[in-house]
Amino acid sequence: MGFTGFQYGFTPASDVIINLIFKAFLPLAIAGLLLIYVAWRWGRLYCGWLCPHFTMVESINKLMTRATGKPTLWDKAPLGTTLEGNPWYWLPLLLLSLGMAFVWAVSFLTYAIPPDVVYYNLLHGQLSLIQFLFIALVTLMLTLDFLFARHLFCRYGCSVGLIQGLAWMSNDNAMTIGFNRQQAKDCQDCNNACDNICPMRIKPRTLKRKMFTCTQCGECIEACIEVQARKDKPSLLKWVNGNCANHKTTGRDDDQDCF
């Protein structure tokens, strides 16, 4: 940005201002507008496909299901799964949560202090008190988040997710998970596989306003495809947009030609 040159008198203030506009504010504004447009048209694609936190949500959910029979500790009872809880899976679950929390904490610190300094101090046991406390506290907070509040943070605490959700809600024709309600009777012998697999613990067959935090990960569609394939029938869930997406907003049965 030219701050060092300006500090020592080598760079004029006008160059610093130009750098701030074209190298900082303008790129951030373009990236923000692009994020909002993508969310308006296709939903929270960033959350479901690019966000590293959501990757942890999905990974830990799977390990938690193997350890307890439930994807989160807050589910009231084991969901429709053939797996029984195996306490041995708590070991990789804790190691993954703690290990990734530590890696993230160190990475966050490198935003404030040059990375080579952080890594040198870490590898040589020369962390300052401030550096040590920062890594320890952030590691603790992220470990607790991964274990107890990972999907709750995505639903209620993430401002980036909130902005995307609001943009998505404003477009009735945006891409969403469509449900073939004319064939809803085929759900009767299913164990709610689409609900059980959802990392965000929402119900994909409900109205769009109740799916505000949907991350468009598509796992519910995969689950329905698998269940219906056993009966040689097509999935009751699929991606829809345009007029075919309106039934998820209005609740009207006007989607006959979409399935």
Query: Is the residue at 15 inside a domain?
Result: no
Same domain, 181 and 149: no
Q: What is the pLDDT, as a whole number, of residue 254?
A: 60
* Domain end call among 131, 158, 185: 158
* Domain end call among 106, 134, 158: 158
Query: Is the residue at 192 inside a domain?
Result: yes
Same domain, 196 and 118: no
Same domain, 196 and 151: no
Query: Is the residue at 79 inside a domain?
Result: yes
User: CA-CA distance, 58 to 256, in Å (whole number)?
Assistant: 33
Quickly tell me which residue has 């307890």 as its tokens. Answer: 68
Q: What is the pLDDT, as a whole number, of residue 14?
A: 85
Same domain, 244 and 218: yes
**Can you give the pLDDT of all 259 residues of the chain as single tens digits?**
777 777 777 778 888 888 889 989 999 999 999 999 999 999 999 999 999 999 999 999 999 999 988 889 888 876 655 567 789 999 999 999 999 999 999 999 999 999 999 999 999 999 999 999 999 999 999 999 999 999 999 999 999 999 999 999 999 999 999 998 888 888 888 888 999 899 999 999 999 999 999 999 999 999 999 999 998 999 999 999 988 888 888 766 665 677 7
- Domain range enclosing 52: 45-158
Same domain, 144 and 56: yes
Query: Is the residue at 81 inside a domain?
Result: yes
Same domain, 127 and 56: yes
- pLDDT tens column, 187-207: 888 888 999 899 999 999 999
What is the count of structural domains for the chain? 2
Task: Please state at what angle helix 26-42 crosses helix 159-169, rounded to 10 degrees.
Answer: 50
Please give the structure tokens belonging to residue 197: 């697999």
The pTM of the full predicted model, rounded to 2 decimals, is 0.83
Query: Is the residue at 199 inside a domain?
Result: yes
Q: How far is CA 192 from CA 180, 197, 213, 230, 253, in A?
A: 15, 9, 19, 15, 22
Q: What is the pLDDT, as a whole number, of residue 252?
A: 67
* Domain end call among 135, 158, 181: 158
Same domain, 184 and 124: no
Q: What is the pLDDT, as a whole number, of residue 82?
A: 55
Please give the structure tokens belonging to residue 255: 């989607």
User: CA-CA distance, 226 to 233, in Å (whole number)?
Assistant: 10
